[in-house]
Amino acid sequence: MDFKFSPEEEAFRDEVRAFLDESLPAGPEWNEKVRAKGWVGFSWPKDVGGGGGTLMEQVILKDEMARRKAPALGSCFMGLAWVGPSLIEYGTEEQKARFVPDILDSKYQWCTGYSEPGSGSDLASLQCKAVREGDAYVVNGQKIWTSIAMWSKWMILLVRTDTNVEAKHDGITCLLVEMDSPGIDVRPIKNMAGGAMFAEVFFNDLRVPVENRLGEEGQGWQVTISALAHERSGIAEFHGLMRNLDRLKELARTRMKNGKPAIEEPQIRRRLVRAETKVEAMRLNGMRFLTKQLKGEKLSSETSINKLHRAQLEIELGEISLEIQGSAAPLWKGASAAAEDGYWQRFALSWPEVVIGGGTPNIQKNIIAERILGLPKD
Amino acid sequence: MNFGFTEEQELLRAEVRKFLDQNAPLDEVRKIVEKPEGFDRSLWNRMGELGWIGLTAPEDHGGVGLDFVTLVVLMQETGRSLFPSPLLSTVLASKAIESLGSEEQQARWLPGLADGSKVGTFGLLEESDSLEPEGITLVGKSDGDDIVLSGAKWIVPDAGQADLFVVAFRTGAAAEALSLAVIDKDADGVAVEIFPTMDLTKRAGKLVLDGVRVGADGLLGELGGAAATIRWLVDVGAVLVAAETVGAAEAAVHTTTDFAKERDQFDSKIGRFQGVKHPLAEMYVDVESFKSLVDYAAWCLDEGDENSSVAASRAKAYAAEAFSRIGIDAVQLHGGVGYTDEYDIQLYLKRSKWARPAFGDSDYHYDRIATLGGL
């Protein structure tokens, strides 16, 4: 057991720190600078334009960036998170040449058409249908919870190309869809916190050229799983959670509750420290998983552990923020008595984005119970 | 960066598990705790011969000289087996002597504490029930070259088994004016009241001192110079209790999972129901998580890391809170048989009642983290 870093790793950390020293606060040239540094698509192979960085360097880079509140490495979020990795693994040479450089240059956004009204947690039951007609697929159906669909140029879409299959995971195909094609209707969904990041997307005789199929017909599930399997050890979330905790401590110092600073309330102190302890456990769990990855093993169901923590913490931090604000908790943006212009009120209503989005806590518990503890499937 | 154990540590884990599975399965543990002494001398002596009791003691004094991370591996296994022995107490007494004792004192006491021929313990708590320096009110009065102690230490772990007591007492008005001394159980004025305990695998008692004289050879380190060591011993104690809790909680989860795979109700194994699955998954997540905190805290202790007190508190706070719930949920998931003496799951529930307050409960440690973190 050793939590220290090698001299090479420390040298890389110094390089990152030096870069951040001269580049922060980030200006409009940030994307270009990190791109030139080879840090966008940091872990992707060099021959597709990635950084070819090691897992450990990636951890160090993200760690330092988060510590310094640096902007993301590239702004094509879903492209960098899973479209790119899927393209690299399953794309044709033409597809790679066409899409990967644009993702690295953050030229436009990608969105993800996976969930459907009838296929949420049970994603493989999806029904959105595509029929091959000559050199195109004709798509009819609906997707939902598609983040940033209204601002995206391309979508990675899962469709059913074969209904006559025994296992529902078969017969699914992955298509790359240009969002301004005829036959696509995007309708934003307003959420309970007043935002509209998600949309419903309707397809009506949308024609997708066969050349925009990613992987083979019927191989869509593997393509998706491989992308989602770029599972993270959960270390990256650590700094974001810690930053919110620091903000909450500051809030508790400045807000009064029961006639004294909220931070003096034993219950609030303990709740803050308890949440912080869970965040620390997440970080260390992540280190344990990372050690496994460094030894060349793949992560699987154990990542559900940190997903559950993350979900509980997102809710808990919002609740703590409201407890600190006491009688002002139910106020909203625009109320002068609400802390930070209602930031925390909005926060306390925004957890479903994280908690539901990545697979609900109940699904994570099923995964742990069935795949790790070996309990019979429901 | 490597958050894993060495091959030697994994080998030790396997050896300890094999030894305990063979010699102290739970039906044997139930017999051992019926003995007045509360533990099995011959097993204890064999563990001494194997170098396990003195695992972290210095090699010059009969120990193996290994680190806390390795000890945590050992104690996760003793925890898993609910193994009744004064291991934790003896290690703490030994660590106190190693930290502050002279070469002569170490040579006098450490070999016996390492080979199992002597049982040691650490007398810290008093009726104030406080782990903070202010909680120690037992006063050491100077009388010539001696110090005279009159008062009591309560909830002293393994008080009835101990040959040697490392006792914390006050030698000045300042909060930190604390000292440690080694007191023999046979010294004049020493009396022990043995307390019945809920968890029979964990014994405790009251140490009553009536004009007990401590000479220069019994005082550890400088007079009034033990506060930092006492605090460190609390850290070590908290981490070791949490390490045993990892093993015990894991065993409770396994026992309950196995039960859920076998028990039929409503024409199905109950483990198929989400009402059973989900609490088991939550238990698993908690155990894995405080295991990470415990292993890291042990590493911090080994490194003398500046955050080792916070790391110890995090480990103990999470472990105590989670195991308390695991004990209750595990019994509940067993249904009626969980309430019987016959089924083993109740033994883990009782262990959780011991583990919660030992070296500080969750509230104590959360408050300590808050204070250390400047809140």
Look at A288 and B280 and tell me if their CB atoms are within 8 Å: no
Locate tokens 């599930």: which residue? A221
- For A308, which residue in chain B has the nearest alpha carbon? B285
Question: What is the rounded CA–CA span in Å between residue B44 and residue A244?
Answer: 50
- Identify any residues that bridge with B264 across adjacent strands, giving them in sequence order: B269
- With beta carbons less than 8 A apart as the criterion, state whether A346 and A339 touch: no
Question: What is the rounded CA–CA span in Å between residue B168 and residue A315?
Answer: 44
pLDDT band at A121 (very low <50, low <70, confident <90, very high): confident
Q: Kindly give the parts of chain B with pLDDT less than 70.
A: none
If asked whether residues A32 and A150 sit together in one domain, one would say no
**Boundary residue ending a domain (B209, B224, B239):** B224
Look at A290 and B1 and tell me if their CB atoms are within 8 Å: yes
pLDDT band at A226 (very low <50, low <70, confident <90, very high): confident
If asked whether residues A293 and A367 sit together in one domain, one would say yes
Give A269 to chain B, closest Cα distance, Å: 7
Look at A281 and B373 and tell me if their CB atoms are within 8 Å: no
If asked whether residues A278 and A363 sit together in one domain, one would say yes
User: CB count, 10 Å around CB of B15?
Assistant: 14
| Nearest beta carbon to residue B272 from set A249, A288, A376 | A376
Residue B73 inside a domain? The answer is yes
If asked whether residues A141 and A198 sit together in one domain, one would say yes
Look at A291 and B269 and tell me if their CB atoms are within 8 Å: no
Q: Look up the domain containing B147 and give its range.
A: 120-224
Please count the structural domains in chain B.
3
Residue A89 inside a domain? The answer is no
Residue B47 inside a domain? The answer is yes
If asked whether residues A141 and A267 sit together in one domain, one would say no
Q: What letter represents residue B85's amino acid?
A: S
Question: What is the rounded CA–CA span in Å between residue A362 and residue A121?
Answer: 10
What's the burial of A81, exposed, middle or buried (CB within 10 Å: 0-12/13-18/19+)?
A: middle
Question: What is the rounded CA–CA span in Å between residue B155 and residue B164?
Answer: 16
Give B9 to chain A, closest Cα distance, Å: 10
Give A39 to chain B, closest Cα distance, Å: 22
Question: What is the rounded CA–CA span in Å between residue A156 and residue A178?
Answer: 9
**A308 at the B interface (CB within 8 A)?**
yes
- With beta carbons less than 8 A apart as the criterion, state whether A61 and A42 touch: yes
A&B contacts, CB < 8 Å = 147
Q: Is A216 a catalytic residue?
A: no
If asked whether residues A118 and A58 sit together in one domain, one would say no
Q: Give this prediction's pTM.
A: 0.94
Angle between helices A236-254 and A303-325 (to 10 degrees): 10
Look at B366 and A269 and tell me if their CB atoms are within 8 Å: yes
**A280 at the B interface (CB within 8 A)?**
yes
Kindly list the distances between the CA atom of residue B267 and the CA atoms of A308, B198, B258, B270, in Å, as whole numbers in the listed order: 31, 37, 18, 9
- With beta carbons less than 8 A apart as the criterion, state whether B148 and B141 touch: yes
- Residues 315..374 of A with a Cβ closer than 8 Å to B: which? 362, 364-366, 368-370, 372-374
Q: What is the DSSP letter of A82?
A: I
Closest-CA residue to A201 (of A242, A145, A281, A279) = A145
CATH of the domain at B281: 1.20.140.10
- With beta carbons less than 8 A apart as the criterion, state whether B293 and B315 touch: yes
Q: Which residues of B touch A362 (CB under 8 A)?
A: 274, 278
Catalytic residue among A15, A231, A265, A276: A231
Kindly list the distances between the CA atom of residue B264 and the CA atoms of A273, A369, B272, B339, in Å, as whole numbers in the listed order: 42, 17, 10, 18
List Cβ<8 Å contacts ≥24 apart for B6-9.
B6/A1, B8/B70, B9/B69, B9/B70, B9/B73
- With beta carbons less than 8 A apart as the criterion, state whether B71 and B91 touch: yes
Please count the structural domains in chain A.
3
**A263 at the B interface (CB within 8 A)?**
yes
If asked whether residues B216 and B239 sit together in one domain, one would say no
pLDDT band at A237 (very low <50, low <70, confident <90, very high): confident
**Boundary residue ending a domain (A164, A192, A219):** A219
User: CB count, 10 Å around CB of B152?
Assistant: 17
In this structure, what token pair is assigned to residue A266?
């034993």
Q: Which residues of A touch B318 (CB under 8 A)?
A: 277-278, 281
Give B308 to chain A, closest Cα distance, Å: 13
If asked whether residues B176 and B237 sit together in one domain, one would say no
In this structure, what token pair is assigned to residue B168?
């914390």
Residue A231 has pLDDT above 60, yes or no: no
pLDDT in tens, A300-345: 899 899 999 999 999 999 999 999 999 999 999 999 999 999 999 9
Q: Which residues of A touch B367 (CB under 8 A)?
A: 266, 269-270, 273
Look at A270 and B370 and tell me if their CB atoms are within 8 Å: yes
What's the burial of A205, exposed, middle or buried (CB within 10 Å: 0-12/13-18/19+)?
A: exposed
If asked whether residues B154 and B288 sit together in one domain, one would say no
Look at A278 and B289 and tell me if their CB atoms are within 8 Å: yes
- Measure the CA angle with vertex B349, ends B345 and B351; round to 5°: 110
If asked whether residues A211 and A276 sit together in one domain, one would say no
CATH of the domain at A140: 2.40.110.10
pLDDT, mean over chain A: 93
Q: Which residues of A touch B278 (CB under 8 A)?
A: 362, 365-366, 369
If asked whether residues A241 and A328 sit together in one domain, one would say yes
**Distance linking the first and last C-alpha atoms of chain A:** 39
- With beta carbons less than 8 A apart as the criterion, state whether A361 and B243 touch: no
Q: Look up the domain containing A57 and give its range.
A: 7-74
If asked whether residues A237 and A358 sit together in one domain, one would say yes
pLDDT band at A189 (very low <50, low <70, confident <90, very high): very high
Locate tokens 């790391």: which residue? B311
**A277 at the B interface (CB within 8 A)?**
yes
Residue B173 inside a domain? The answer is yes
**B275 at the A interface (CB within 8 A)?**
no
Q: Which residues of A touch B72 (CB under 8 A)?
A: none
Residue B171 inside a domain? The answer is yes
Helix locations, B263-355, DSSP H: 274-303, 308-334, 345-355
Give B254 to chain A, closest Cα distance, Å: 8
| Nearest beta carbon to residue B2 from set A1, A281, A373 | A1
pLDDT band at A67 (very low <50, low <70, confident <90, very high): confident
| CA B180 and chain centroid, separation | 19
ipTM confidence: 0.95
| Nearest beta carbon to residue A273 from set B272, B289, B366 | B366
Look at A377 and B272 and tell me if their CB atoms are within 8 Å: yes
Whether the ω angle into residue A25 lies within 30 degrees of 0, i.e. cis, is yes
**A296 at the B interface (CB within 8 A)?**
no
Q: Which residues of B touch A371 (CB under 8 A)?
A: none
Q: What letter represents residue B71's amino acid?
A: L
| Nearest beta carbon to residue B3 from set A9, A291, A304 | A291
**A256 at the B interface (CB within 8 A)?**
no
Instruction: Report the pLDDT value the prediction gives residue B83, as an integer from 0 to 100.
Output: 98
Instruction: Report the pLDDT value the prediction gives residue A233, as an integer from 0 to 100.
Output: 57
Beta-sheet strands, E only, within chain A: 109-113, 129-133, 136-143, 152-160, 172-178, 184-189, 198-209, 213-214, 256-257, 260-261
Look at A281 and B292 and tell me if their CB atoms are within 8 Å: yes
Instruction: Report the pLDDT value the prediction gives residue A229, as an integer from 0 to 100.
Output: 61
pLDDT in tens, A194-218: 999 999 999 999 999 999 999 999 9
Closest-CA residue to B40 (of B88, B86, B93, B92) = B86
If asked whether residues A134 and A14 sit together in one domain, one would say no
If asked whether residues A203 and A247 sit together in one domain, one would say no
If asked whether residues B142 and B212 sit together in one domain, one would say yes
Residue A189 inside a domain? The answer is yes
**A254 at the B interface (CB within 8 A)?**
no
- With beta carbons less than 8 A apart as the criterion, state whether B163 and B37 touch: no
**B272 at the A interface (CB within 8 A)?**
yes
Q: Which site among A5, A273, A285, A320 would you substitute to test the B interface, given the most B Cβ atoms closer than 10 Å to its Cβ?
A: A273
pLDDT in tens, A271-300: 999 999 999 999 999 999 999 988 989 888
Instruction: Report the pLDDT value the prediction gives residue A234, as an integer from 0 to 100.
Output: 61
- With beta carbons less than 8 A apart as the criterion, state whether A73 and A34 touch: yes
| Nearest beta carbon to residue A376 from set B269, B281, B362 | B269
Residue A2 inside a domain? The answer is no
- For A285, which residue in chain B has the nearest alpha carbon? B292
If asked whether residues B265 and B360 sit together in one domain, one would say yes
If asked whether residues A175 and A293 sit together in one domain, one would say no
Residue A311 inside a domain? The answer is yes
